[in-house]
Amino acid sequence: MPHFIHDEAAVCGRVSNGLWPRIYNTLEAAFRQGDVNHITGDVHYIALLLKKRKTILTIHDCGFMNNKGAIARMVLRMFWLRLPIARSRYITVPTQATKEEVLKYVKVNPDKIHIIHHAIPVGFEPSPAKQIVEKPTVLHLGTAPNKNLPRLIEALEGVYCRLVVIGNLTAVDKALLQKHGLDYINHYNLTNEEVIRQYQDCDLLAFVSTYEGFGNPILEAQSIGRPLVTSKVSCLPDVAGEGACLVDPYDVASIRAGIVKVLEDPGYREKLVELGFINVQRFSMAKTIEQYVALYKTIANNVT
């Protein structure tokens, strides 16, 4: 049995867009196989020509199945789920919610799917929270449709706060911010260190997505020691544990009530931070590595 693991990160030679680049990526992967093949990106289809008994496929989420086109959904279901799952020895997913999604779309033995949480990103360490003495800062990450920014903007109308949005704002987003009279700051293309600084400078994270495969911002806020308001849908309650104020992301009044409660109740804020620190202990890098190494060793040593 080997006492160490030598890993090599391989990046597909073509951008995964269109038929021929994907055929190229699949053929390239077949010629670059190792003792263990672990697919971690959105190129599930490259499993088709890999050795099944040596392949692990990580499915981060099934958001791609929300595609509105029937033909597109059929293709995605076949080449991103059914065939890659059939051609992989193990499947890993970050949450129980994602596992249930996979089982909804594909008939597969549930024991083949292993839940391995994402780990806390490097650099997110506890930072003392400042007392709210001026206008509180509400941090929001992402401007994709599932990030639910329009409802958050509407919910913050009249709330005494400043909204910081990380991500490219569209003209529609800017019009909504102006319509609802929000004081806001917009950042994008930030370095990891700059993102960490935004967490440290905020008073609350608003992460009211309508869909996530995991929800790293939850762990980032909890690791730094900031209270958060997040959604009670998808995998978010599972990831947040008891360290978050849960709201209905489709109900503007619910989002508003949650944010106001956290901002106006110091005792509640402190409790959320305390529970957040406890919750993130479930997501240590050491635990994640240990679980993946166990799968790698099973494959490398041909254990059934």
57 & 165 share domain: no
268 & 296 share domain: no
Total domain count for the chain?
A: 2
Percent above pLDDT 90 for the chain: 88
Rounded to an integer, the average pLDDT of 119-126 is 90
pLDDT at res. 197? 95
Rounded to an integer, the average pLDDT of 174-178 is 97
Answer whether residue 169 is part of any domain.
Answer: yes
Question: Domain holding 114: CATH number?
Answer: 3.40.50.2000
Tokens of 56: 């692990």
93 & 154 share domain: no
162 & 60 share domain: no
Q: What's the domain range around 290? A: 19-119+284-300
Residues 116 and 94: their CA atoms lie apart, in Å, by 5
Could you tell me which residues come within 8 angstroms of residue 220 by beta carbon, excluding any fewer than 6 positions away?
120, 121, 124, 195, 196, 199, 205
> How are the residues of the chain apportioned to helix, strand and coil, as percentages rounded to the nearest 5?
50, 15, 40
The model's pTM is 0.88
Answer whether residue 12 is part of any domain.
Answer: no
Of 84, 55, 53, 78, give the one whose Cα is nearest residue 65.
Answer: 78
Answer whether residue 236 is part of any domain.
Answer: yes
143 & 257 share domain: yes
> pLDDT tens digits for 218-238?
999 999 999 999 999 989 999
Rounded to an integer, the average pLDDT of 282-287 is 92
278 & 143 share domain: yes
Q: What is the DSSP letter of 120?
A: P
289 & 221 share domain: no
Confidence of residue 4 (pLDDT cuts 50, 70, 90): low
pLDDT at res. 128? 86
pLDDT at 3 over 70: no
80 & 169 share domain: no
pLDDT at res. 1? 39
Pick 274 or 9 by higher pLDDT: 274
Of 129, 272, 122, give the one whose Cα is nearest residue 200.
Answer: 129
Answer whether residue 129 is part of any domain.
Answer: no
Answer whether residue 250 is part of any domain.
Answer: yes
pLDDT at res. 264? 94
195 & 65 share domain: no
247 & 262 share domain: yes
The 10 Å CB-count burial string (b at 16+, else e) for 22-43 is beebbeebeeeeeebbbbeeeb
Q: Is 263 helix (H, G, I), strand (E, B) or coil?
A: helix
166 & 182 share domain: yes
Name beta bridge partners: 55: 37
pLDDT at res. 301? 86
pLDDT at 303 over 70: no
257 & 142 share domain: yes
Percent above pLDDT 70 for the chain: 97
- Helix axis angle for 266-279 and 216-224, nearest 10°, is 110
Answer whether residue 5 is part of any domain.
Answer: no
Rounded to an integer, the average pLDDT of 160-165 is 97
Cα 121 from chain centroid (whole Å): 11
Q: What CA–CA distances, in Å, run from 180 to 47, 151, 156, 164, 176?
A: 48, 11, 8, 15, 6
Answer whether residue 4 is part of any domain.
Answer: no
Give the residue carrying structure tokens 């997913």: 93
Residues 279 and 288: their CA atoms lie apart, in Å, by 15
Q: What is the mean pLDDT of the chain?
A: 93
Max CA-CA distance within the chain? 64
Residues 91 and 214: their CA atoms lie apart, in Å, by 16
DSSP alpha helices (H): ranges in the chain?
A: 19-30, 70-76, 83-86, 96-105, 149-155, 171-179, 192-201, 216-224, 236-240, 252-264, 266-279, 285-300
Answer whether residue 218 is part of any domain.
Answer: yes
pLDDT at 30 over 80: yes
Q: Is 175 helix (H, G, I), strand (E, B) or coil?
A: helix
Range with the lowest mean pLDDT among 67-81, 109-123, 127-141, 211-225?
A: 127-141
Rounded to an integer, the average pLDDT of 68-87 is 94
pLDDT at 153 over 80: yes
Contact between 93 and 57 under an 8 Å Cβ cutoff? The reply is no
Rounded to an integer, the average pLDDT of 139-165 is 97
pLDDT at res. 2? 45
pLDDT at res. 304? 60
Confidence of residue 134 (pLDDT cuts 50, 70, 90): confident
Contact between 119 and 283 under an 8 Å Cβ cutoff? The reply is yes
pLDDT at res. 131? 74
